[in-house]
């Protein structure tokens, strides 16, 4: 990659060289530590002339990721869902465990559609116990669209249906007339879902 093709970012390029993006990436990510070690001197990222090339990320995605490190007030709560999903994606791909944990904490604060939350958390292999509130919402819904069912996948749909049946049966046993899964208490649904999804 020739020097003529390098564009200095107006916000994240540090002209005085006092802090290096290279340092953060090497410190926080095993992926980049290994990549920098195996890179030749002409591409090890220590200077403009030896820029380390990233081919699997767009400029806008990379800007979102750098924002985590160069956010002067560390004000994270104003960013939307797609911002944090991008950060979660890159942190997962590049093995930044601290940044990944931050993205998960921020997503937990945001109001996500339960189907979107389940799909996102499953894609990045997050702790399924974090999905209990989303599972509860789906259990209490009277119905779901075919599209949502297709997106969730058959295993998840079957487990949600199983939990709904257990909840409906429990409500019936407690004397509820014409019971539905929505009649079950949240605490009871949590225990049912833990059993169905084999959560500790």
pLDDT tens readout for residues 140-199: 888 778 999 999 999 999 999 999 998 888 877 776 666 566 677 889 899 999 999 999
Which has the higher per-residue pLDDT, 200 or 27?
Answer: 27
Q: CA–CA separation, 80 vs 102, rounded Å? A: 14
Mean pLDDT of 91-104: 96
HSE, side-chain direction, 13 A CA sphere, residue 165: 7
pLDDT of 11 strictly over 50: yes
Does the pTM exceed 0.85? no
């Amino acid at each position: 990659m020739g020097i003529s093709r390098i564009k200095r970012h107006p916000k994240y390029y540090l002209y005085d060289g006092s802090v290096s993006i290279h340092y953060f990436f090497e410190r926080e990510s095993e992926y980049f530590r290994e990549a920098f070690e195996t890179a030749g001197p002409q591409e090890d990222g220590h200077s403009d002339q030896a820029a380390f090339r990233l081919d699997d990320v767009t400029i806008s995605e990379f800007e979102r990721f750098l924002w985590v490190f160069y956010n002067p007030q560390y004000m994270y709560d104003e960013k939307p869902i797609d911002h944090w999903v991008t950060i979660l994606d890159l942190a997962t791909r590049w093995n930044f465990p601290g940044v990944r944990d931050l993205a998960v904490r921020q997503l937990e604060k945001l109001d996500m559609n339960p189907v979107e939350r389940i799909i996102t958390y499953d894609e990045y292999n997050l702790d399924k116990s974090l999905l209990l509130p989303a599972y509860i919402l789906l259990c209490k819904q009277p119905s779901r669209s075919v599209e949502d069912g297709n997106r969730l996948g058959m295993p998840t749909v079957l487990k949600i249906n199983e939990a709904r049946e257990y909840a409906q049966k429990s409500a019936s046993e407690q004397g509820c007339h014409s019971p539905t899964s929505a009649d079950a208490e949240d605490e009871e649904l949590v225990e049912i879902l833990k059993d169905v999804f084999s959560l500790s």
